[in-house]
Amino acid sequence: MKSSEQRIAEGFLFTDQYQLTMAQLYYRMGLHEKQVQFDHFFRKYPDYGLHQAGYCISAGLGWLLDWMQEVTISDVELDYLRSQTDRTNQPIFGEDFLEWLRDHATFDSLTLRAIPEGRVVHAQVPLTIVKGPLAVAQILETSLLNHINYQTLVATKAARIQQSGHGQLLLEFGLRRGQEKGANAGTRAALIGGADFSSNVGISHLLGYPPKGTHAHSMVQVFLALGMSEQDAFQAYADVYPDDCLLLVDTVDTLASGVPHAIKVFEKLRKRGHEPVGIRLDSGDLAYLSVQAAKLMNEAGFRDTTIVLSSDLDELAILQITAQIIQEARQYNMDADHMLKRLSYGVGTKLITSTGEAALGGVYKLVAVQDGDKWLPAIKISENPVKTPNPGNKNIWRLYDRRGLATVDLMSLEDEDPRTMDNFTIFHPADHSKSRQIVQANISEIEPLLITALDEGRPVYESPSIEVMRDQRRRDLARLDPGVKRIINPHRYHVSLTQPLWELKQNLIKSVHQ
Amino acid sequence: MKSSEQRIAEGFLFTDQYQLTMAQLYYRMGLHEKQVQFDHFFRKYPDYGLHQAGYCISAGLGWLLDWMQEVTISDVELDYLRSQTDRTNQPIFGEDFLEWLRDHATFDSLTLRAIPEGRVVHAQVPLTIVKGPLAVAQILETSLLNHINYQTLVATKAARIQQSGHGQLLLEFGLRRGQEKGANAGTRAALIGGADFSSNVGISHLLGYPPKGTHAHSMVQVFLALGMSEQDAFQAYADVYPDDCLLLVDTVDTLASGVPHAIKVFEKLRKRGHEPVGIRLDSGDLAYLSVQAAKLMNEAGFRDTTIVLSSDLDELAILQITAQIIQEARQYNMDADHMLKRLSYGVGTKLITSTGEAALGGVYKLVAVQDGDKWLPAIKISENPVKTPNPGNKNIWRLYDRRGLATVDLMSLEDEDPRTMDNFTIFHPADHSKSRQIVQANISEIEPLLITALDEGRPVYESPSIEVMRDQRRRDLARLDPGVKRIINPHRYHVSLTQPLWELKQNLIKSVHQ
């Protein structure tokens, strides 16, 4: 795409056609400025096939807010909409509506509450709540989902991969396999969710994290093609980057050529007063090769050099590799724990595309409509009770048990405050038979999860730095039950409704059925 | 991301760090302007788990060329690179290299040959061939892979989905589930590969295809919440869009409420001289519901209204739906063929994310280095013979049999022209035991597949319109063996090397092993 076209493709028209046709319908019916509330939530955690998430990490809000605040509607957009015709060649959009759109299509009439980025979040619980004029809140749907679904998906995957790698350094390498410029959003989300650094230069720069990398096989190939050797290539790299020397050792033969050549170069480096960083393995049996490579490096006196593993890794592959390393290390009389602690992981494709579940099914559902002074709850009944959204204006709370671990995310009506309530009963959102008694004496903390980002369009929230989001993520994960954090077959975290919200929902379902 | 930051994140620094560190190394070694050739190809067709592609549709070249021609390197980029430091706080990039980068970092020294967009393409065969100075060709790698891998992946998925839907109208609905702004690239690729239209307004506008859509469940919910009915909502929609009236009928109850209400509205429309478009089904047993809905609409005299199906569709789901419809239609004495022909498909998540295989594993491999007047072939030996690239400067040909069907894609050395050759032998790229005799009398056409897009940086190719690419795709698919086009377990299409290229590869492998 030419950059001159980018403003059009990524601006106000970065939406689905039906948002605009519905907006015009609301305008014609005089409903366009009726106050409504939409909840954005995901119904189920990502399910990667052989493994499933028990939690997600929220991300994407900051860039959504940037988009909302920068979007304008100019003659280019209006002229294009004016030119659209139906099957009988009549204009689809009328001048009356287009005029309204020109004056009201920015998002400065909306109130947006959200769970901040970097937080542990759960299925069914709204990540974002939008309140404002019907037509404007409707038009926002597509872009809101686009911005938050994807980044939350990738932040979640990054948290899982980091966890399976025992918290060792995680590098994001996916730029070449992402969805075009959207890869930058993937890198950002990975940095929020669990990646320490990324190879992606531009976005790393903007976010303040130095980009990382080694070299490609092609560098060794160039030397070979010109009649030089792998060791010549390594030596050249060490000469140019004596204090950042990380060598890719699998171009020719990892153990017979790559590692011995790297060791020779490392020895020279050390003589000249530089400590080598280490090696990268990008093919073959990574567990076997890393134990053997470590053995060779240990024998040569390089016990603390890093071993970066890459090549189609994800959380399952890393689980397997670490398990195998522990076994193999014992077999060769090596310290397994020391082995694991010298590893770093470079993860590309499977992080940036969230392999196994490449989209988060976040939805944006109408839950309330104002009529006069009264808010009317709205509901869409589904044959599957789990798909029936929770109606009305809500607040969201996280309850921690006496150990300080999160025990339930609770949705309440907007005017309820469980911090001021005595012991109370909470209800499963879909299963009528499940309720649970909350005894305040067993609860160490009740935390409201939503912040207000936009108050009738006024920005009242400053997006924190990525580092602040990461701290939040670490704190949230530390307060999450280990069973919920399992990579495979995690425990189901509790999400509940207060009794008033539960009754509202039941009554509404009954009234629709009648 | 703020738009002021976008230029940095999407410009010259839209690359991996190691491209820049390698470029500096080449600069220091005096190798940076050595002429080299990189081939970009994918090793295997997307494998979606239970089904696999037997071909791909190329896409993404046009936007890559736009990017290459617009990229500049300014003081912002240089200052950032200047600020990068290694572990001892020394600058990573020297002033000598940065000066060279400033003057040479755009891509106007590269020659780029490629298979045009919209063509059927195959594993192992280069989609793009880049020739030029080593450092510049190396830096291009990331962006080239990013642009072409993803669009080719989605164009391929779109072709498969369109095929499984018997060529019926296919609408792309994935904007909310794509990777942020990369969703626009997905829409473009879908339109090249098989989607007729998209719901994405901005990019549809830019590419000249009217965006399509119906309405959301929320529209019906608003009416219900305000005490009106589903039929009131439908009537309002019909009043505003009398000639584009497509109604979503599953908000309350598809057969008991949605379809009967739609029929009432359609009857009024017809009385007023307008033909309704049809209905959309977005949940439940789509095959059963579409047969039942069709029955109701037929009985009311609306035999030709469209039924748009959506809800997590992909090529397998559509195969299942069409098979079930044929059975159910018979059971209810309906014309199955007429049923299938009134269907359209709206596909979102599973098209834009290419569910099952969310990335195309396209790689960019050094295949030749010039030394003096001579081109030296380069090779990277892999333990897996299929992963050993084909060396040297090449041309690519497609051979058609006497029926006019494509029978093999043939890689030759650059100076070979199989059109002028007598009968000849061709070889499997990896399996030594497989060769095949080509008898010219059995070949109806030998077509060169590569065009030159950039000639030493000079643009010598005008990207065709999407419509031209679609025509090309239709022609190529018509000339592909039905076995290769199968959705599940496709035949393996033949890709081969000429004897001189095969011998070059074998000799090179031998010389590396020695």
pLDDT tens track for A369-419: 999 888 888 877 666 666 777 888 899 999 999 999 999 999 999 999 999
For the record, the structure tokens of B354 come out as: 């290419």
| Cβ-nearest to A63 among B1, B359, B379 | B1
Pairing relationship of beta strands B443-448 and B451-455 according to DSSP bridges: unpaired
8 Å CB contact between A203 and B5: no
Residue B60 has pLDDT above 90, yes or no: yes
Would A357 be classed as within a structural domain?
no
Residue B311 has pLDDT above 90, yes or no: yes
What tens digit of pLDDT does each residue of B62-107 get? 999 999 999 999 999 999 999 999 999 999 999 999 999 999 888 9
8 Å CB contact between A213 and A199: yes
- Contact call for B28 and A240, based on CB within 8 A: yes
- Contact call for B177 and A16, based on CB within 8 A: no
Would B101 be classed as within a structural domain?
no
The pLDDT of residue A346 is 98
The CATH number covering residue A235 comes to: 3.20.20.70
Residue A129 has pLDDT above 80, yes or no: yes
Q: How confident is the model at residue A294 (pLDDT cuts 50, 70, 90)?
A: very high
- Contact call for B353 and A349, based on CB within 8 A: no
- Contact call for B150 and A205, based on CB within 8 A: no
Q: How confident is the model at residue B381 (pLDDT cuts 50, 70, 90)?
A: low
Which residues have C-beta within 8 Å of that of residue A278, sequence separation ≥ 6?
A: A246, A247, A305, A306, A307, A308, A342
8 Å CB contact between A113 and A136: no
Q: How confident is the model at residue B200 (pLDDT cuts 50, 70, 90)?
A: very high
- Contact call for A9 and B202, based on CB within 8 A: yes
- Contact call for B184 and A214, based on CB within 8 A: no
For the record, the structure tokens of B151 come out as: 């669009």
- Tell me the percentage of chain A whose pLDDT exceeds 90: 91
Q: Once rounded to an integer, what is the mean pLDDT over residues B407-421?
A: 96
B236 contact residues in A (CB cutoff 8 A): 25, 28-29
Find the helix packing angle between B3-10 and A3-10, rounded to 10°: 130
Residue B56 has pLDDT above 70, yes or no: yes
Task: Give the H/E segment covering residue A323.
Answer: helix A315-331
| Cβ pairs A/B, distance under 8 A | 370
The pLDDT of residue A387 is 72
A82 vs A76: CA distance, rounded Å? 10
CB crowding A252-267: b at 16 or more within 10 Å, else e: bbbbebbbbbbbebbe
- Contact call for A66 and B141, based on CB within 8 A: no
The pLDDT of residue A19 is 98
B211 contact residues in A (CB cutoff 8 A): 16-17, 84
The pLDDT of residue B430 is 87
The pLDDT of residue A514 is 67
Q: Once rounded to an integer, what is the mean pLDDT over residues B182-198?
A: 98
Q: Once rounded to an integer, what is the mean pLDDT over residues B105-115?
A: 94
Q: CA nearest B230: which of B260, B194, B208, B210?
A: B260
| Cβ-nearest to B241 among A21, A31, A183 | A21
8 Å CB contact between A309 and A285: no
Would B425 be classed as within a structural domain?
no
Q: Quote ipTM for the complex.
A: 0.96
B11 contact residues in A (CB cutoff 8 A): 202
Would B388 be classed as within a structural domain?
no
Q: CA nearest A317: which of A488, A153, A199, A161?
A: A161
Pick the residue of B35, B139, B176, B288 with the most A CBs within 10 A to test the interface with A by mutation: B176
Strand partners of residue A413: A394
The pLDDT of residue B387 is 72
B250 vs B247: CA distance, rounded Å? 9
Q: How far apart are the first and last CA of chain A?
A: 53
Q: Once rounded to an integer, what is the mean pLDDT over residues A83-106?
A: 95
The pLDDT of residue A384 is 66
The per-residue pLDDT of chain B, averaged, comes to 95
B138 contact residues in A (CB cutoff 8 A): 216, 218
Number of domains in chain A: 1
Pick the residue of A172, A201, A305, A376 with the most B CBs within 10 A to test the interface with B by mutation: A201
What tens digit of pLDDT does each residue of A12-61 get? 999 999 999 999 999 999 999 999 999 999 999 999 998 999 999 999 99
Residue of B nearest to A354 (CA): B358
B409 to chain A, minimum CA–CA distance in Å? 26
The pLDDT of residue B388 is 74
Least confident of A154-168, A219-233, B384-398, B473-487: B384-398
The pLDDT of residue B389 is 76
Residue A234 has pLDDT above 80, yes or no: yes
For the record, the structure tokens of B264 come out as: 């009432």
Q: Once rounded to an integer, what is the mean pLDDT over residues A347-352?
A: 98
B175 contact residues in A (CB cutoff 8 A): 14-16, 142, 146
A379 contact residues in B (CB cutoff 8 A): 221
- Tell me the percentage of chain B whose pLDDT exceeds 90: 91
A262 vs A270: CA distance, rounded Å? 12
Q: Give the domain extent around A275.
A: 213-346
User: What share of residues in chain A are helix, strand, coil (percent, to 5)?
Assistant: 45, 20, 35
B218 vs A364: CA distance, rounded Å? 9
- Contact call for A29 and B236, based on CB within 8 A: yes
Residue A259 has pLDDT above 90, yes or no: yes
B329 vs B344: CA distance, rounded Å? 17
| Cβ-nearest to A213 among B6, B17, B218 | B17
What tens digit of pLDDT does each residue of A101-115 get? 999 888 999 999 999
Residue of A nearest to B244 (CA): A86
What tens digit of pLDDT does each residue of A177-204 get? 999 999 999 999 999 999 999 999 999 9
B35 contact residues in A (CB cutoff 8 A): none
Would B255 be classed as within a structural domain?
yes
Residue B225 has pLDDT above 80, yes or no: yes
- Pinpoint the alpha helices (H) of B194-229: 201-207, 217-225
CB atoms within 10 A of CB A382: 16
What tens digit of pLDDT does each residue of A452-484 get? 999 999 999 999 999 999 999 999 999 999 999
A128: region left, alpha or beta (phi > 0 left; psi from -120 to 50 alpha): beta
The pLDDT of residue A111 is 97
The pLDDT of residue B514 is 67
Pick the residue of A63, A176, A274, A379 with the most B CBs within 10 A to test the interface with B by mutation: A176
A158 vs A164: CA distance, rounded Å? 10
At residue A172, φ and ψ (nearest 5 deg) are: -95, 125
The pLDDT of residue B392 is 83
Would A311 be classed as within a structural domain?
yes
Long-range contacts of A404-408 (CB under 8 A, 24+ apart): A404/A444, A404/A445, A404/A479, A405/A479, A405/A480, A405/A481, A406/A120, A406/A476, A406/A479, A406/A480, A406/A481, A406/A493, A407/A443, A407/A494, A408/A436, A408/A438, A408/A493, A408/A494, A408/A495, A408/A496
Strand partners of residue A47: A52
8 Å CB contact between A186 and A194: no
B393 vs B377: CA distance, rounded Å? 8
B52 to chain A, minimum CA–CA distance in Å? 16
Place of tokens 């602690």: A341
Q: CA nearest A331: which of A286, A285, A288?
A: A288
At residue B172, φ and ψ (nearest 5 deg) are: -95, 125
- Contact call for A22 and B354, based on CB within 8 A: no
B92 vs B80: CA distance, rounded Å? 11
Q: What pTM does this model have?
A: 0.97
The pLDDT of residue B383 is 61
Would A237 be classed as within a structural domain?
yes
Q: How confident is the model at residue B431 (pLDDT cuts 50, 70, 90)?
A: confident
Please, what is the Cα angle at B229 between B226 and B234, to 5 degrees? 115
Would A223 be classed as within a structural domain?
yes
B218: region left, alpha or beta (phi > 0 left; psi from -120 to 50 alpha): alpha
